Amino acid sequence: MVDVALNCHRRPADEHQPAGTAGLGAAAAIHLAKHSPAHIYISGRNAKSADAVIQQTQKSGTKVTFLPCDLASLDSVKKAAETLLAQESRLDLLMCNAGIMATPPGKTKDGYEVQFGTNHLGHALLIQKCLPLLEQTAAATTTTDVRIVILTSLGFRMHPGAGIVFSDLKSEQNFSAFGGWIRYGQSKLANVLYARELARRYPSITSVSVHPGVVGTGLVENLGWANRAFVYVTNLGKLMEAEQGAYNQLWASTVPKEKLKNGQFYEPVGILSSKLDKASKDDALAKQLWEWTDKALADYVH
């Protein structure tokens, strides 16, 4: 799993950003480092993979720091966020990049359905912990451009009929033979809705969700043979390389602010999606998700 908070704009030396250790996160970090941000933080579980990314990114002269972070553990996310906050006085870009897909039934260390807990709840805690610093940075000048980029997937359309089954999130949610994909869709729907609600509640920060496309990273390679075959067949065997898959999140991180619509979902690169369904545009559901998430994270945020 990898998270990236980066910025590819050339900015004053006191501006800092957090980021990833493999796949799309690593590709984004390596590319953005070429544009001389003051500081990149990359997070993930694999320190060895982080070292390889740091060696590549530091060739550009950019300072890069690894933050150990397991999104399936709220204690780990809290520690990573507080380590960052203790070191920095500003934060310009937070890229929520990490995730898991179509995994067998399971729970996080905190007892939540593992895909929802990892793909949504872990990221939500990282965002909530960083929001005060993001707001502070946004208020610094009238021209400050602060962004949150959340990676989701068109797989959100596989969500349960109710959208998100809130009453059952502290279980393994054994929906059906396709339960792994339904649980994945639920978590990716939460990513879309959370970006919408972030934009409504924090308009000084530009928050968007993006679909990277279907990319041949560990997210696919680590699937069981049946699920891996499903991905290849449904995409006619055409999977993108990580560098190409990172284009949409890089676009959302660097395009002039006026080209972005706060709270919206983009796919393919730079295009407002026409594939949102009723649940993904449901503001009442987004509000319910926000309130449920606040209660779940209360002991970790404050």
Please give the Cα distance from 5 to 14 (Å, whole number).
15
Alpha-carbon span 64 to 86, nearest angstrom: 16
Q: What is the domain range of residue 96? A: 2-301
* Structural domain total, the chain: 1
Following DSSP, what letter does each residue of 160-215 receive, concatenated?
A: -TTSS-GGGTTS----STTHHHHHHHHHHHHHHHHHHHHHHH-TTSEEEEE----B
Task: Please count the residues of the chain.
Answer: 302
One-letter amino acid of 267? E
Q: The domain spanning residue 131 has which CATH number?
A: 3.40.50.720
How high is the pLDDT of residue 14? 38
The structure tokens listed for 277 are 């369904």
The tokens describing 57, both together, are 């990114």
Q: How far is CA 1 from the centre of its chain?
A: 10
Q: Which residues are within 8 A (CB) of 291 and not within 5 positions of it... i.e. 6 or more apart?
A: none
Which comes out higher in pLDDT, residue 280 or 49? 280
Whether 195 and 203 have beta carbons less than 8 Å apart is answered as no
Q: Is 59 a catalytic residue?
A: no
Look up residue 149 and give its two tokens: 């980029």
pTM of the model: 0.88
Task: Check if 184 is active-site.
Answer: yes
Tokens coding 292: 């449920």
The one catalytic residue in 184, 194, 202, 266 is 184
| Cα(64)–Cα(172) distance, integer angstroms | 37
Q: What angle do CA 162, 219, 25 make, to 5 degrees?
A: 105
pLDDT tens, position by position, 95-128: 998 889 889 999 999 999 999 999 999 999 999 9
Closest CA to 170 of 110, 119, 118, 121: 110
What would the pLDDT profile of 3-20 be if each residue is shown by its tens digit? 445 433 333 333 455 545
- Output 233-239 pairs: Cβ under 8 A, ≥24 positions apart: 238/214, 239/214, 239/215
Burial class for 263, CB neighbours closer than 10 Å (0-12, 13-18, 19+): buried
pLDDT given for residue 25 in this prediction: 80
Selecting among 41, 112, 129, 188, the annotated active-site residue is 188
Q: What is the mean pLDDT of residues 153-162?
A: 94
